Amino acid sequence: METTGPVISGFGLDYLGLANLKAAHWNLSAGALYEQALRRSEAKLSKDGALVAITGQHTGRSPNDKFTVREETTEADIWWGPNKPFTEEAFDRLHARMTAYLQGRDVFVQDLWAGADAAYRLPVRIVTQHAWHNLFAQNMFIRPSLADRAQFEPGFTVLQVPDFRAVPERDGTRSDVFVVINFKKKLVLIGGTSYAGEIKKSIFSVLNFMLPAQGVLPMHCSANIGPGGDTAIFFGLSGTGKTTLSADASRTLIGDDEHGWSDNGVFNFEGGCYAKVIRLSAEAEPEIYETTRRFGTVLENVVMDEGTRALDLDDARLTENTRASYPIDFIPNASATGRGGQPLNIIMLTADAFGVLPPIAQLTADQAMYHFLSGYTARVAGTEKGVTEPQATFSTCFGAPFMPRHPTVYAKLLGEKIQAHGARCWLVNTGWTGGAYGTGSRMKIAHTRALVNAALSGELAGVRHIPEPNFGLAVPEGCAGVPADVLVPRNSWSDKSAFDATAHEVARRFEANFTQFQDQVDEKVVCAGIRTAA
């Protein structure tokens, strides 16, 4: 077997059962991975230097194809409702078939860290079939020094082989796609899909299981720091604006997607960003836009002119879920440490497809726990297979597909940390105004930015708040730069009776969804929630 790379860990690949490989390429640089990807026709080069890869059939996550191995060391701690079990025997058979498939083929290896706080970071090894996925992993996680890589011993490994497909009747999967996490063997198997997001989300799931036992709240959120040193976190699902709102030129970016909240403060899990770029605007989102024109950026499913190699970020013919993966230092104001202090503000983002939630409301600590457990938003087109337009959904903790433990474990940690550090909490609707999806319009980014900036500066905390009748929220009376009609959703609808009926229906959905948690949380949280009239 040929072995290449600037540094090769003394802890080899034997533990994975990999044998008779053609070559193993270790810890290659971005330039070397570009060369390999282009030579193998895995991707193409844009005129500005980004690497453009097309993922084929799967342009988003496949949540129904994710499994967790059911075994004695973690069985009692897994939330088996949405976490589909997989037997140890089926895992071993699938693993053996994957390693047999790789005989005579090349693999690419990256030894990386997940977690910017050394007290909690996890050494992760990402082994991929293709070079461009290895560059994605290098972008998304934290790169140790060469000396650290020479002594690297993985705490968890991802084996990603997109060209290997499962046989459901033989392998026990739902389809030919699979993402299987084995906490006992500290190994993730991914196959049948080239969508790179499965790599990072699998490690996020791993950290979501491991960290609560250490008193750390893992969060699907972005985070940044203001000029005065105040940290803010932004919860939200894909498409709600986490990346856009946290990449603010006036604040220092900690990270755009996955963080931990410990007694030391907030820390990024990642070393990069994975931003949606469909219809990206150079005027509205200049920092992210510029990353699409950089060497080292991986673009997924972005349409490119074959002759000029010019990108068309407005073209959604392949998917709405076009993505850019880039090192976090491509953002000019990114934090060099990936760490911040205890958060002063917590913002929960939702894209309300029904257009009835206010653009911002201040929450009590109990309301924050309620909305954290609810995780209301809309699935945005393209983020999951089969989703072609926004659909109302409840995704607990703003990240249900990645939560191995019961949601109340995370909510309890959130409540304790809010109380301990006195964080202000806000619900922000980046969805629709003036009507529901199809009738109204998407909230203007300029209005959302003005409201968020006013919340972070403390301005909104000092203004009079108006009680909102449908959801029990406190809405600020006014905010500079935002029309009064926008602040009160009912005023933005031409048909008031239609608004009332829609708001009542959304409130009813909140109430029905929360019944699954009401016997497991403090009565104060239940009382702080939404209750429709009988």
Rounded Cα distance between 68 and 80, Å, is 9
What is the SS3 assignment for 92-139? Answer: HHHHHHHHHHHCCCEEEEEEEEECCCCCCCEEEEEEECCHHHHHHHHH
241 strand-pairing partners: none
Looking at 66, 70, 149, 220, which residue is catalytic?
A: 220
Q: 297 an active-site residue?
A: no
Q: 243 an active-site residue?
A: yes
Burial of 183 (0-12, 13-18, 19+ CB in 10 A): buried
Q: 294 an active-site residue?
A: no
Closest CA to 428 of 452, 459, 444, 409: 452
441 strand-pairing partners: 433
Cα angle: 38, vertex 39, 40; to 5 degrees: 90
Looking at 68, 243, 395, 433, which residue is catalytic?
A: 243
Looking at 193, 231, 238, 240, which residue is catalytic?
A: 238
Closest CA to 121 of 268, 234, 341, 320: 268
Q: 242 an active-site residue?
A: yes
Looking at 323, 405, 424, 509, which residue is catalytic?
A: 323
Looking at 257, 371, 412, 509, which residue is catalytic?
A: 257
Tokens 């985070």 appear where?
223
Looking at 242, 379, 417, 424, which residue is catalytic?
A: 242
Under DSSP, the state recorded for 176 is S
What is the SS3 assignment for 460-477? Answer: HHHCCEEEECCCCEEEEC
Under DSSP, the state recorded for 52 is E
Tokens 């229906």 appear where?
505
> Tokens at residue 389, please?
């337009």
Looking at 61, 379, 417, 509, which residue is catalytic?
A: 61
Rg (CA), the chain: 23
Q: 262 an active-site residue?
A: no
Q: 202 an active-site residue?
A: no
Q: What is the largest CA-CA distance in the chain?
A: 72
Looking at 58, 121, 201, 405, which residue is catalytic?
A: 201
Query: 3-class DSSP state for residue 158?
Result: strand
Q: Specify whether the backbone of 182 is left (phi greater than 0), alpha (psi in -120 to 50) or beta.
A: beta
> Tokens at residue 347, please?
């913002």
Q: Which residues participate in catalysis according to the annotation?
A: 61, 201, 220, 238, 242-243, 257, 323
